């Protein structure tokens, strides 16, 4: 922290007939005051919020509700349970309703257009004269009018801007109502910038780690634990106290487009990785610990998605109406619980279990054995109350996925309501059904109105006492996560300190080392690797066709080098003439054939349903089901979602051409293929044309070059099977792991779960012994 300009001693508030010695001092820095209790908690408050300090037993406490006395919830000496229950009992229905809200995505500063746009005094940011750390009009409104206290932060301009914005948010909410601080959150934000250069000893914008599949490919939970420990410090320096992660869904259908965010298909590897992740994020030690492992380095982990979202029929995703159904042809519904029940809910650390859970959008089709309801998991009393709460004894926060209570506007639109199975209910009735299912919080809802309406429905059905008790039950759960992380005592940050913490050199080094350990070597014909440095290489440019991203936003076509050539030139001489090259380096991505739905076909009178292919070239789904397991949507006049006999090809089919054309141009000289993998893929289309194949899961290009040149020996292992062909993909069960025929390459190696090479050959070690196919 900075040195402070003055020290102020405030007279002791006399609550008894005797005067206690004052055991605290106060310092101010600008508008933030810091109170240090000797042998107790350090307090922080805004001098503009109207908060006063009161003294009891010589110790200082914040009078958050401004009633001139020490309430239990203001007493940092008391257990969290007591404080949370006391505060919940004082909250109005409107305040609890606001606490149940989780904001829509908030970039800092707000964008000028699009779904996450915002204004500043009625103007877009660029025209407003506002600071990047100022609150937008929309943020001020939902924090004050709707009592919202959980904010989802997306992009931030810089760590110091994020810290300043956090301080502005906390100063605003501290001065109103009961002084409840904001619990800011984030989706995963420690991904890599592929063309960024790593320099030992240098910092960056934030530490960069491989994607979740890459962490899984290390087969080493200690790396994931270290990631959690580092990322949690960076999150706290950004003002973030809840991580909307880890994603421990089992990716049992290889076509699912959220596979890259998982730890793969093996339940026990996923359980161990999820456990390590949550322990790393939630645990504070030493002076940072407040109690029970929680403290000022702790970040609440919202594990997702209960009860598992990786078995969407035909690999389709439930963000869309066309992917709403999770199916279980292999009767493996309970197998998807393992990463939760044996991982995130059974921690080794003192915090014991993940503090929050997010159910997925999916309808777990025909799995409700009690009520026989086919409704989305967020609405299912069987899945939340009976299974999660009662059977598995989970009493943490349950938060819906985003926009589940809104109205669906189209079957193929990403940003729309997702009320799967409850379309006929009003928005207020949906909120009520969610609450009665055992859920505490509404993701992506900024307005408290529907929650108040849900309360009124509860009054009519069960009486005021019942629904008030139900609201307080959720309030206590939500408040615990704010108390545990120390936000009631001091939610404020020093922006200069945040700037030093986030992306510091040590953190960048740890992330880079993890990237290296995540890269998988699949093929090394004639031991062509490692390559000799300073040889001449040919790197073909990569064509990216126009398309749409996951949000449905159009992406332009481009032709460019797929790797930072300035970094490549530090390892090799570079030529555009294959005849001059000693080797060719081809950088491609795994096949992307879309999401399994063709909107144009639907407009022409078809069903819209098409295959999701894991190969580049044309694929015709002759082995698909004649009749889909599940189906139905208010925008569809049919229920059979089969795509049998339909043909697709990968959007990035030109990647295949890069390999085959380069093979021809090199005239027998080595061709090395590096694949950025988002999903498993069919290798038979090009494997024979490659002398070496490496797979990475979103790492920096420099890490690939370090492996290629032997700076580091490869050690990664496949966290998923690679299918022999699309026929085995079509015949596998969406809910069952390890049930495909894996590809056998021209060297006789099988690209199965746990396979990987080092310089000596096939890796066989303690990791491959521990984690095996089921």
User: What pLDDT does residue 416 have?
Assistant: 94
Q: What angle do CA 211, 615, 568 make, to 5 degrees?
A: 50
Q: Who wins on pLDDT, 14 or 767?
A: 767
Cα end-to-end distance, the chain, whole Å: 51
Reply yes or no on whether the pLDDT at 53 is more than 50.
yes
User: What pLDDT, on the 0 to 100 scale, is given for residue 1?
Assistant: 38
Indicate the average pLDDT of the chain: 95
- Of 218 and 550, the structure prediction assigns the larger pLDDT to 218
- pLDDT over 60 (residue 13): no
Handedness of CA 229, 234, 240, 243 (dihedral sign): negative
Report angle CA 535, 536, 537 to the nearest 5 degrees. Answer: 120
For residues 692 and 521, the answer to whether their CB atoms sit within 8 Å is yes
Residue 230 has pLDDT above 90, yes or no: yes
pLDDT > 90? residue 683: yes
Residue 675, pLDDT > 70, answer yes
pLDDT band at residue 555 under the 50/70/90 scheme: confident
Look at residue 615 in the predicted model and tell me its pLDDT. Answer: 98
Average pLDDT of span 619-634: 98
Phi first, then psi: what are they for 761, rounded to 5°?
A: 140, -150
What confidence score (pLDDT) does residue 352 get?
A: 98
- Tell which wins on pLDDT, 113 or 647: 647
Cα separation, 536 vs 325, in Å, equals 51
Please, are residues 323 and 595 in contact by the beta-carbon 8 Å criterion?
A: yes
Once rounded to an integer, what is the mean pLDDT over residues 370-397? 98
State the pLDDT at residue 115. 84
Nearest alpha carbon to residue 28 among 54, 8, 57: 8
Read off φ and ψ for residue 536, nearest 5 degrees: -100, 130
Q: Does residue 30 have a pLDDT over 90?
A: no
* Whether pLDDT at 34 is above 70: yes
How far is Cα 703 from Cα 170, in angstroms, rounded to an integer?
A: 40
Given a cut of 70, whether residue 497 has pLDDT beyond it is yes
Residue 5: per-residue pLDDT:
34
Mean pLDDT of 203-207: 83
pLDDT at 135: 98
Task: Supply 41's token pair.
Answer: 């908690």
């Amino acid at each position: 922290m900075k040195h402070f300009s003055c020290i102020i001693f405030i007279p002791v508030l006399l609550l008894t007939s005797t005067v206690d010695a004052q055991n605290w001092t106060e310092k101010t820095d600008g508008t933030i005051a810091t109170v240090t209790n000797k042998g107790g908690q350090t307090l922080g408050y805004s001098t503009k919020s109207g908060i006063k300090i009161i003294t009891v037993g010589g110790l200082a406490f914040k009078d958050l509700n401004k009633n001139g006395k020490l309430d239990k919830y203001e007493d940092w000496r008391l257990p969290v349970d007591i404080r949370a229950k006391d505060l919940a009992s004082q909250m109005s229905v409107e305040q609890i309703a606001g606490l149940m809200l989780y904001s829509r995505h908030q970039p800092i500063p707000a964008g000028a257009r699009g779904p996450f746009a915002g204004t500043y005094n009625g103007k877009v940011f660029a025209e407003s004269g506002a600071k990047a750390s100022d609150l937008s009009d929309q943020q001020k409104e939902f924090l004050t009018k709707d009592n919202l206290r959980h904010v989802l932060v997306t992009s931030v301009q810089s760590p110091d801007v994020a810290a300043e914005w956090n301080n502005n948010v906390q100063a605003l909410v501290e001065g109103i109502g009961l002084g409840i601080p904001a619990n800011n959150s984030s989706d995963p934000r420690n991904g890599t910038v592929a063309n960024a250069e790593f320099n030992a000893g240098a910092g960056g914008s934030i530490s960069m780690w491989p994607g979740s599949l890459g962490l899984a490919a290390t087969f080493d939970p200690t790396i994931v634990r270290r990631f959690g420990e580092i990322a949690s410090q960076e999150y706290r320096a950004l003002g973030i106290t809840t991580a909307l992660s880890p994603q421990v869904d089992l990716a049992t259908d290889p076509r699912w487009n959220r596979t890259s965010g998982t730890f793969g298909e093996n339940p026990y590897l996923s359980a161990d990785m999820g456990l390590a992740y949550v322990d790393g994020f939630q645990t504070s030690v030493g002076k940072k610990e407040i109690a029970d492992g929680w403290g000022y380095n702790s970040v609440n982990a919202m594990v997702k998605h209960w009860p598992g979202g990786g078995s969407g029929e035909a690999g389709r995703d439930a963000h869309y109406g066309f992917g709403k159904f999770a199916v279980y042809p292999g009767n493996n519904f309970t197998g998807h619980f393992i990463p939760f029940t044996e991982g995130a809910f059974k921690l080794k650390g003192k915090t014991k279990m993940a503090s929050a859970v997010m159910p997925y959008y999916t309808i777990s089709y025909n799995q409700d054995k009690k009520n026989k309801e086919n409704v989305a998991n967020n609405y299912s009393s069987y899945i939340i109350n009976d299974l999660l709460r009662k059977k598995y004894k989970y009493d943490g926060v349950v938060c819906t996925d985003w926009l589940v209570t809104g109205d669906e506007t189209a079957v193929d639109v990403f940003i729309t309501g997702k009320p799967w199975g409850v379309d006929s209910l009003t928005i207020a009735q949906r909120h009520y059904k969610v609450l009665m299912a055992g859920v505490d919080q509404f993701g992506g809802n900024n307005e408290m109105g529907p929650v108040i309406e849900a309360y009124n429905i509860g009054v009519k059905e069960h009486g005021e006492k019942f629904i008030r008790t139900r609201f307080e039950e959720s309030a206590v759960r939500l408040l615990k996560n704010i108390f545990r992380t120390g936000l009631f005592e001091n939610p404020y940050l020093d922006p200069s300190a945040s700037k030093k913490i986030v992306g510091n050199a040590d953190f960048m080094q740890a992330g880079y080392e993890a990237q290296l350990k995540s890269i998988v070597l699949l093929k090394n014909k004639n031991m062509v690797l490692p390559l000799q440095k300073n040889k001449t290489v040919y790197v073909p440019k990569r064509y990216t066709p126009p398309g749409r991203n996951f949000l449905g936003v159009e992406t332009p076509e481009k032709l460019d080098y797929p790797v930072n050539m300035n970094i490549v030139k530090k390892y090799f001489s570079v030529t555009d003439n294959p005849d001059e090259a000693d080797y060719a380096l081809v950088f491609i991505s795994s096949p992307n054939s879309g999401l399994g739905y063709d909107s144009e076909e639907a407009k022409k009178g078809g069903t819209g349903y098409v295959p999701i292919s894991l190969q580049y070239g044309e694929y015709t789904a002759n082995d698909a089901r004649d009749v889909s397991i599940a189906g139905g949507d208010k925008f569809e006049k049919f229920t059979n979602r089969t795509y049998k006999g339909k043909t697709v090809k990968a959007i990035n089919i030109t990647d295949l051409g890069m390999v085959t054309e380069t093979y021809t141009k090199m005239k027998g000289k080595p061709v090395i293929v590096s694949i950025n993998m988002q999903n498993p893929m069919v290798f038979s289309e090009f494997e024979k044309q490659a002398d070496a194949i490496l797979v990475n899961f979103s790492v920096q290009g420099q890490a690939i070059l370090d492996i290629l040149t032997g700076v580091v020996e490869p050690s990664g292992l496949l966290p998923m099977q690679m299918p022999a062909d699309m026929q085995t993909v079509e015949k596998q069960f969406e809910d069952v792991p390890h049930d495909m025929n894996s590809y056998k390459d021209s060297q006789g190696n099988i690209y199965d779960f746990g396979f990987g090479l080092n310089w000596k050959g096939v890796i066989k070690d303690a990791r491959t012994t521990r984690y095996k196919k089921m």
